[in-house]
Amino acid sequence: MRYLSKLAFAALLMVAAVPAFAQSSSIQVANPWAPATPSGAKTGAVYMTIDNKLSIADRLTGLSSEVAKKLQIHETKTDKGITKMREISGGLPVPAGGSVVLKPGGYHVMLIDLNKPLKAGETFPVTLVFEKAGKVSITVSVQSMGATHDSMPGMGDMDHMDHTDMK
């Protein structure tokens, strides 16, 4: 009987030590939005705040949506007056118990080769894929172009952007 108790205790310890990575509550996404795009635009962007409720770091490694042929995680940086966007290789780290803000002028989801323009008032689904938490589905709200340009420093005039790193 004592042997059985030790086995039961060991089994309980093993179960308790396995993190619940697949729990949908481990990653929470707040305020996912995208600026409307002009007719004929081939690219767009998505912004949001990602909260990691896990006690270990996670990483956003992939994205999918029917709205564009390709989705990438990008970072915007300005150097010598030139704003450049680059894909983040290896995914976007999300710290344990912390947040990452995707916003104009910083980290964002790049929508490449849009299937149609993004129109204010519409929504579209995006699936985020995390290394530990797995898939998280969100609904992105498209905001008006006028309101967006004011909140997008360096993004209003796309002629000043270097897109050479886009694949």
In a domain, residue 111? The reply is yes
In a domain, residue 14? The reply is no
Is the pLDDT at 91 greater than 70, yes or no?
yes
Query: What is the tens place of the pLDDT at every residue in 26-71?
Result: 999 999 999 999 999 999 999 999 999 989 999 999 999 999 999 9
In a domain, residue 3? The reply is no
Claim: this prediction has a pTM higher than 0.85? no
In a domain, residue 35? The reply is yes
| pLDDT in the model for residue 146 | 56
Which residues does 50 contact at the CB level (< 8 Å), separation at least 6? 27, 28, 29, 60, 94, 99, 100, 102, 128
In a domain, residue 12? The reply is no
Q: How many domains does the chain have?
A: 1
In a domain, residue 5? The reply is no
The CATH number assigned to the domain holding 46 equals 2.60.40.1890
Helices and strands per DSSP (H, E), number in the chain = 2, 11
The larger pLDDT score, comparing residue 117 to residue 6, is at: 117
Looking at the chain, the whole-number percentage of residues with pLDDT higher than 70 is: 72
In a domain, residue 122? The reply is yes
In a domain, residue 36? The reply is yes
Place of tokens 């898939």: 135
**DSSP-assigned states of every residue in 23-41:** -GGGEEEEEEEEE---TT-
Domain assignment of residue 126, given as a range: 21-162
